[in-house]
Amino acid sequence: MPVVMPIYGTRPEAIKMAPIVAALKASDHFACVVTVTGQHREMLDQVNELFGITPDHDLDILYPGQSLSDILTRTISGLDKLFAVSKPDVVVVQGDTTTSTAAAIAAFYAGIPVVHAEAGLRSHNLFSPYPEEANRKITTQIASLHLAPTSTSKQNLLNEGVKAEDIVVTGNTVIDALLTTVGKKIPFIDPALEELAASGQKILLVTTHRRENQGETMRGVGRALARIADSHPDMVIVLPVHKNPVVREAVLPAIAGKTNVMVTEPLAYGEFTRMISMSHIVLTDSGGVQEEAPSLGIPVLVMRDNTERPEAVVAGSVKLIGAGEERIVHEVNRLLADSAYFQSMAMAVNPYGDGQAAERTVAAIAGLLGIGARVKDFSS
C-alpha cells in the first residue's frame, strides 16, 4: 500500500492538513504517516489535539527567536535523516510556510514526488507577504501535483507554465475544517469569553502576526486599537494574540489597561471559529481568516496592501486597508457608522470551497499514483 506523508509545522498548515489526514486515514488505498516539524509548538499541538492527530514523527525544530534559515535548515536536515529510514511514496505539503517549502525541497532531493496543497496563490509581490510569496513559488517549481483551491490560483499556475494535467482545483481544505467545527458551538474555556457571548455585545475580532507588519507598523496597529476602544466603549475588541514575543511586544503596550479590550492566548480552532461567527467585524492580517470569515458572512478588513486571496475581495466581503494607524481607525469607524456599507460587506460568500476539498485531494493523489481517475475540478 503506498505510503503518503503529510508534513506540516504551523497552526494554519495543521488546520488545513487535518481534513486531508482524516481522508487519507479513512481511505483503503493508502497508509498515512504524519510528520510535523514543530516550527510552531503550542499553536501546532493545539490543532492536532482538537482533530485527534498524533504525529508519527516530530522533528521538534522550534526554538525562540528562530530565523527563517534556522527553520529551513533544521527541517531539511531532520527530513533527510527521516527519509533515509522511512521513505514515503508521496509527500504532501500545504501552503507557503518555510516548513512547507523546506519539506518540499527535502522530498525533491530524496526523489519523492511532492503534492502541493493550496497551490497557485500569488500576491505578485515577492516581498509581501514575506517570505510566503517566495516560498510558494519555490514549491511550485518542484511539486509533481498542484492542488489549486480556486480557478484563479489554477490560472496563476498556468501563467507560469505549469501543465494543466498536473493541476487539480480542489477547493481549500480550510472550508472542510471550518464546516466540521463551526456548527458545534464549542464552549470557551475562558469564562469571560462565555460571558461575552451571552452579553450580545458588539465584537471587533483582531489577529495580527505578519512579518512585514512587525515593528513600528504593528505598534501603530496597537495604537489604532486603543483609539477604537476609547471611541466605542460599547464594543469589545477581542485579540487572541500570536505566541510570537515580537508581536506581543509591539501590539500590547498601547492597549494595556483598556477595559473593553480582551487579550487572550491563541484560541483553540473551535473556539476561534465560534468567535468569528459572533463578531461584528474582523480586522486581520491572517491568510486563513480571510478565507473563513467571508464564508460566515462577517466583514473582513485586511491589514495588508495586497492579497493572494482576491476572490472574497472581488465578492465584496473583504477589503484591503493596509496596516496604517489612521486608515485602520477610519475604516473600522466607517463600518460601524454606515449600516448600508456594513450590509454590503456582510454577505456570506464561499469562493474557497464546498467542504469536499480533502476528498478531492485524496482522489487527486490516487490519480498521481495511477490508482484512480482524474478528479473533476471544484468550481464555486
- Which of 64, 111 has the CB closer to ligand UD1? 64
Among the listed residues 35, 39, 94, 170, the single contact to ligand UD1 using CB under 6 A: 39
Binding to ligand UDP, residues 155-194 (CB under 6 A): 174
Report the distance separating Cα 286 and Cα 139, nearest Å: 21
DSSP 166: G
Choice between 249 and 377, CB closer to ligand UD1: 249
Q: Is 131 in the site for ligand UDP (CB under 6 A)?
A: no
The answer to whether the CB of 82 falls within 8 A of the CB of 35 is yes
| DSSP letters spanning 3-45 | EEEEEE-SHHHHHHHHHHHHHHHH-SS-EE--EE--SSSHHHH
Q: What burial letters (b/e) apply to 19-33, b meaning 16+ CB within 10 Å? A: bbbbbbeebeebebb
Question: Is-catalytic flag, 195?
Answer: no
CA distance linking residue 179 with residue 173, whole number of Å: 10
Least distance from ligand UDP to the Cβ atom of residue 9, Å: 12
Q: Show the site string, 288-317: x = touches ligand UDP by CB under 6 A, - = not.
A: xx--x-------------------------
Active site residue 274: no
Q: Is 118 a catalytic residue?
A: yes
Contacting residues for 195 by C-beta, under 8 A, at least 6 apart: none
Applying CB under 6 A, among 58, 132, 133, 212 the residue interacting with ligand UD1 is: 132
Q: Is 185 exposed, middle or buried (0-12, 13-18, 19+ CB in 10 A)?
A: exposed
Q: Does 207 bind ligand UDP (CB under 6 A)?
A: yes
Selected binder of ligand UDP within 15, 298, 302, 318 (CB under 6 A):
15
Catalytic hit among 11, 40, 116, 209: 209
CA count, 13 A, side-chain hemisphere, 113: 15
- Could you say whether residue 359 binds ligand UDP (CB under 6 A)? no
Residue 266 within binding range of ligand UDP, rule CB under 6 A = yes
| Residue of this chain nearest to ligand UDP (CB atom) | 286
> Is 11 one of the catalytic residues?
no
Burial of 45 per CB tally in 10 Å (0-12, 13-18, 19+):
middle
Of positions 7, 8, 11, 120, contacts ligand UDP by CB under 6 A: 11
Helices and strands in the chain, H and E counts: 16, 14
Judged by beta carbon distances under 5 to 8 A according to partner kind, the member of ligand UDP, ligand UD1, none in contact with residue 66 is ligand UD1
Q: Which does 356 bind (CB under 5 to 8 A by kind): ligand UD1, ligand UDP, none?
A: none
Residue 209 appears among annotated catalytic residues = yes
Annotated active-site residue 210? The verdict is no
Establish if 12 lies at the interface with ligand UDP (CB under 6 A): yes
What's the min distance (Å) between Cβ of 378 and ligand UDP?
A: 19
Q: What does each C-alpha distance from 206 to 70, 255, 336, 358 come to in angstroms?
A: 29, 13, 15, 28
Task: State the CB neighbour count (10 A cutoff) for residue 133.
Answer: 20
For residue 6, give the amino acid letter: P
Residues 143-172 that bind ligand UD1 (CB under 6 A): none
Catalytic sites, residue numbers: 96, 118, 132, 209, 211, 242
Binding site for ligand UD1 (CB under 6 A): 10-12, 39-44, 64-66, 68, 97-98, 131-132, 209, 211, 243-245
